[in-house]
Structure 1
Amino acid sequence: MDYTVKATSFPQEDAEIDIKTSKIAFGTTTKTADVLPNPAELFLGSFAACVLKNVARFAEMMKFQYQKAQIDVKATRLDKPPRMEHINYVLTIYSNDEKLNVRLLKKNIERFGTIYNTVKLACSISGSIKIIKHV
């Protein structure tokens, strides 16, 4: 598989990524640092999207139902050289399904996630899955 994105920026302005029919604005200036995602946050967003996509994928394969999945991602950044040192995530799945095998789901996410596997080559990752019974 090959992927293509296009990003554009102009001096003293913020930037935008074009992916298929989506436009994602991101900050490259200090004036929008509090309102637009920066490149590090987009990177973590991609990691989060990968995990959530795999929840949907493995729900079908493992035949479990869920009402919602949510992921919180935190990262530690080093300054010299600038890079992510560690990523920690908590994946919360709202489900009453007894067939949901959390250990197998976590193993599958960690084994088959494209972004997950790319990132783990560059920094350490730890995470957990929480199940919340949906009422």
Structure 2
Amino acid sequence: MRPPTSYRVHAEVWAGGESTVTAGNQTIPVDSTWAADEPAGTPGPAELLAAAFAACLMKNLERSSALLSFRYEHADIDVRARRQDIPPRFVEIEYELHLVTDEDERRVDLVHRNLRQFGTVYNTLAAVCDVHGSVVIVPTPAYPPAP
């Protein structure tokens, strides 16, 4: 059995809430202000978690595409994360994956099962909150959408 894979990130915060997270060779600004009246315009921890979930789906789509010889031209994912204040935690992650493909519905369902079964971030979040979503098939000639 292989040992677990390790990941490292580095984060910094300055007084007043200006923060960055460095992952890989990318530095991402992060909103860590407290009780701000207006959103700072940079992602906060909740958006970063939702982004990690979306990235997990995208990475697993590529994995499934290679392993299952699944053809697609493009995918986009909308993620909605809901949290509660007391106790503070996420209660629901909902997603809609739009998949531009000429594959039939049975093959799309197979890929969707793979996304749910083999996604590390997906499974971690599903263990602690309700995670659900759908895949919308977009026929290949319909993409890109008309301006």
TM-score normalized with structure 1 length? 0.93
The structure whose Rg is larger is 2
The equivalent of 1:43 in structure 2 is 49
The equivalent of 1:3 in structure 2 is 7
The equivalent of 2:95 in structure 1 is 89
The equivalent of 1:71 in structure 2 is 77
The equivalent of 2:144 in structure 1 is none
Secondary structure (helix, strand or coil) at the match of 2:7 reads: coil
Residue identity (%): 33
**Which of the residues 10, 21, 27 maps onto 2:25?**
21
Q: For 2:19 and 2:39, locate their aligned partners in 1 and report how far apart those are by CA, in whole Å.
A: 12
Structure-2 change in CA distance of 1:133 and 1:70 (3 Å): same
**Offset, 1:98:** 4.0
Structure-2 change in CA distance of 1:87 and 1:99 (3 Å): closer
Task: Identify unmatched segments of 5+ residues in structure 1.
Answer: none
TM-score normalized with structure 2 length? 0.86
The equivalent of 1:116 in structure 2 is 122
**Offset, 1:99:** 8.5
**Offset, 1:11:** 0.5
Matched-pair contact (CA < 8 Å) for 1:63–1:99: no
Q: For 2:82 and 2:105, locate their aligned partners in 1 and report how far apart those are by CA, in whole Å.
A: 35
Matched-pair contact (CA < 8 Å) for 1:68–1:94: yes
**Which of the residues 90, 108, 115 maps onto 1:102?**
108
The equivalent of 2:145 in structure 1 is none
Does 2:68 correspond to 1:62?
yes
Q: For 1:125 and 1:13, locate their aligned partners in 2 and report how far apart those are by CA, in whole Å.
A: 30
Matched-pair contact (CA < 8 Å) for 1:64–1:100: no
**Offset, 1:102:** 1.6
Query: RMSD of the TM alignment (CA)?
Result: 1.6
Secondary structure (helix, strand or coil) at the match of 1:37 reads: coil
